[in-house]
Chain A
């Protein structure tokens, strides 16, 4: 190197010259590499990189601008959630799983709770209102999750405006979540046996307004991107993966549906009463990034349709319970909004501290020890925004999970990075990874 570049120092190793690139220093680096005879360059991209969709590390072998080998390195966000859950009771489990795939917390919670309910044998006893609320929340969550997928995907390919629109819509959804659960993310709202609390007063008209607003606002991104020639050039024919590739790699979700197979667990193996809602399964037949983009765009409208139907159902179920009737499972305290935010309802505190010793004992036992779940193992799969989210839960009859494993669609689908990007241009890896939409919190757990 002729002049020292503080942003791209180099050192010689037995493997060849190694450059540490940290910022906008590509000119000097390209000049340097261009002067060598070496054709093959190994690029380590990430784990801290704005275009890798989180703390994902990509090791790329390049011949010129062609990718000959792409490998993904993960584990940078591993938090040991599955191990931790073995030391907490079944209800506390929801607060852990909600932090796995942090863009789709309600799906994690629902998959986990459906599995616990299946182990308890109370699937039929979960009140209908709770199930409808779950469906409504999941579909709103699907919108917010797809919005991040679209917005960050476009941003990573260099389009900034779609992200502004996408995050505006996501904000609308997060406001609804905050109104209902008190939290925008990681809300631990779905609990074994039902949901934490009923909708607040006036929630339904507010959600109806939000649905109307979103339906109008979605058009901004549609007009911006669908048919946009730059966008099509960056996405059409990129990240190709056909049906055979998807089945052998276990790929589900929008990537599988972009091959033309209408595989959606909401239709194929309905749960939470999805068979009672009218919606279409969106597919594409292009097997590429553009197809997956169109699927996500069109699924937004389908989710809005489901939300509207859920709201109709909720109006009819006004005042119905949202937690299973069995007091040995249902959380003893209903939360209430106080002057300092969401907390235990004062009426409940008054009862256990002032009038009923039995209630206090019951509350204490259920909260500290938790309920027992009969021994056995179940696997419950739901359709998350990214594909099949499976909860593999084993109980030994105790008050804590014996083993809890999440089959995360992000984790599984990220394996397709190599198949999608090898042989293509280095710039197209970004589009391919963005179309998988991996969420590293879910990948690493």
Chain B
């Protein structure tokens, strides 16, 4: 449990290189209601094996890794046939080491009818960060997609107004990407400039 790995830097300011391994596919039976969800989806959606890259069951949660081309079809079927009426938003995760799949978008879904939860995950390369917007399926994802665009630069095609939501409109870069250093911008106040924290001497 203890023991330094890698550089051993614990301050967080040393540019610690970190990688996150993606877990492999899970085997059936998945347990709980997950088999039923997978069966229902396969029945309602014949292209299941083409659209779903991996099915992962980890810590009692089901994740369907969906190809981005099929996201809209899968979303509509999950909402209409499998009664996942609510999408609890989308959040991005940046895995710089996962070549070709650097940016992940994670959608937690909730079914009020069946009292179930599953998760969709879509991964796209850094160089082509486009994912179809699910706003027309779950209107409440509007702001969540804007936030994910703001923080990760994932472009949600078909979004009614994809603009920055938390950062200022003219901000450069996407702060939650791993290559974006924690720091900030120099602040000028009454003629004196305070450098961002990562450029102050004590943190070097």
Contacts and interface: CB of A to CB of B under 8 A. Distances in A.
Interface of A: 74-75, 78, 80, 82-84, 86-89, 118-119, 121, 247-252, 261, 263, 268-269, 328, 365, 368-372, 375-379, 381, 388, 390, 392, 394-400, 402-403, 405, 407, 411-412, 414-415, 444-445
Interface of B: 1-2, 4-5, 10, 12-13, 18-21, 23, 58-61, 63, 85-89, 91, 93-94, 106, 108, 110, 112, 115, 117, 119, 138-144, 147, 151, 164-168, 175-176, 182
B176 A83 contact: yes
22 contacts: A82-B176, A83-B175, A247-B85, A248-B85, A248-B138, A250-B86, A250-B89, A250-B140, A368-B10, A369-B2, A369-B10, A377-B63, A379-B61, A379-B88, A379-B108, A388-B88, A392-B91, A395-B20, A400-B12, A405-B91, A407-B91, A414-B143
Given A121-B59, A376-B59, A412 B182 contact: no
A75 B167 contact: yes
Given A80-B175, A247-B112, A369-B10, A396 B20 contact: yes
Nearest to A244: B85
B117 A250 contact: no
Contacts of B141: 250
B1 to A, nearest CB: 5
A390 B2 contact: no
A372 B108 contact: no
Given A84-B182, A247-B112, A394-B93, 11 more contacts: A75-B168, A82-B176, A89-B10, A252-B86, A378-B59, A390-B89, A392-B106, A396-B21, A403-B91, A412-B143, A415-B142
Contacts of B144: 411-412
B108 A415 contact: no
A424 B24 CA distance: 52
- Binding site of B, secondary structure by majority: helix, strand, loop or mixed? loop
A108 to B, nearest CB: 16
B112 A263 contact: yes
Most buried by A among B5, B85, B86: B86
Nearest to B2: A365
A444 B60 CA distance: 30
A390 B88 contact: yes
B54 to A, nearest CB: 14
Given A83-B182, A407-B108, A375 B20 contact: yes
Contact of A377 (B106, B117, B138, B140): B106
Nearest to A269: B115
B24 to A, nearest CB: 12
A248 B140 contact: yes
Nearest to B177: A83
B61 A378 contact: yes
Given A249-B140, A372-B1, A119 B59 contact: yes
A269 B12 CA distance: 36
Nearest to B23: A376
Contacts of A248: 85, 138-140
Nearest to A119: B59
